[in-house]
Amino acid sequence: MSIKIGFVGMPNAGKSTLFNTLTKLSVPAENYPFNTIEPNVGIVNVLDKRVLNLSKLVLPAKTTYPQIVFHEIAGLVKGAANGQGLGNKFLAHIREVDGIVMILRMFSDSNVEHTLNTIDPKRDREILESELIIKDLESIDKKIETLAQKSKFDKKLSQVQDIFTKLRSYLNEGSLAINFEGYENNELYLAEYKSLQLLTSKPIIYLVNSVDPYSQPELIHLLGLDSSSSVLNIDIRLEHDLVKSPEADLDDLLNSLGINKLIIDDLISMCFYKLGYIVFITAGKQEVKGWTIKANLPAYLAAGVIHADFTKKFIAVDVAKYTDFIKFNSWEALKEKGLIKLEGKNYVVQDGDVLYFRIGA
């Protein structure tokens, strides 16, 4: 399972540079291939250090990292929902992703024009969100019309129609569908809601592209966001230059700048957290692999990520903690220490668990 993330922003906000930065992460080509499907879609291997460290211990024939699929969606402008700047085409691309990274420009450069001539990330955020909302309102209006017809024959659908009417009012106030609450237990509504794939139902990470550092509270205030919002400050051009540097020089460059890691590593971690994903690991001589699953998934469903048949044929799972595996080096040593737990189908898999599934014939 791969997470799909779309980069959204005004023209010249830094989307292409961020995309190029992420797709040039330095990993050995023979073991960790990077594959570009289309010019604006790339699969990036997430260099999870837990997978790397286990691979060094187990020495498998193959090492496979978790992956994120990044979609660089062309710049949106005011009026995109009405077709300005090929907006309809690019708004449709957003439906294909699981989450959005909204890139907001906070840098000045006379050689890189801003379509609105001034630097104002809060204004840009509001424009971008408004375009998403306008497109969602079109979908909701059509849904309400359809429900109005169907409710003549099924009175339960009239209640669903009422909820969508409330949702329409909520969006008209400038709010996002993902924050519309109170109807999570209405199965009829949820089925209709999910079928719409509303643009504003997707989690958003707000990324401020700035050469100057800002604290989390400063970014929240700068963008006019709620304190629970996910925000990040990156100097995208600097990160791009650092990634282009020889790997042997990278640590020295980071130290000279007073930082210990690339900020894009934080972005990747935030994508996992914001979308509610975790990684479990399988470690054997054939392969050490990081698997991406939704948080709070029971073991038998996690097994199905490896192979669909495993869900039905699941017997049990051996569970080891990553830190224990690193300390004692092997399944055999962990067994001697009594550090392997045998769990059943409803065990909730935790981030970083090292698992061995017992599957029946």
List of domains in the chain: 3-113+202-274 (3.40.50.300), 125-201 (1.10.150.300), 296-359 (3.10.20.30)
- Say if CB 4 and CB 71 are below 8 A apart: yes
The CA distance from 331 to 340, in Å, is 8
Please tell me the predicted confidence (pLDDT) of residue 200: 96
* 199 dihedral zone (left: phi>0; alpha: psi -120 to 50; beta): alpha
Please tell me the predicted confidence (pLDDT) of residue 88: 57
User: Which residues share a beta bridge with 319?
Assistant: 341, 355
Please tell me the predicted confidence (pLDDT) of residue 94: 85
DSSP letter at 186 equals -
Low-confidence ranges of the chain (pLDDT < 50): 25-39, 85-87
- For the full predicted model, state whether its pTM sits above 0.75: yes
Count other Cβ atoms within 10 Å, centred on residue 358.
13
Q: Tell me if residue 35 falls in helix, strand or coil.
A: strand
Q: Tell me if residue 250 falls in helix, strand or coil.
A: helix
Strands 62-64 and 67-72, bridge-based pairing: unpaired
- Say if CB 174 and CB 129 are below 8 A apart: yes
Please tell me the predicted confidence (pLDDT) of residue 217: 93
Beta strands in 251-331 (DSSP E): 277-283, 287-294, 314-320
The CA distance from 251 to 356, in Å, is 35
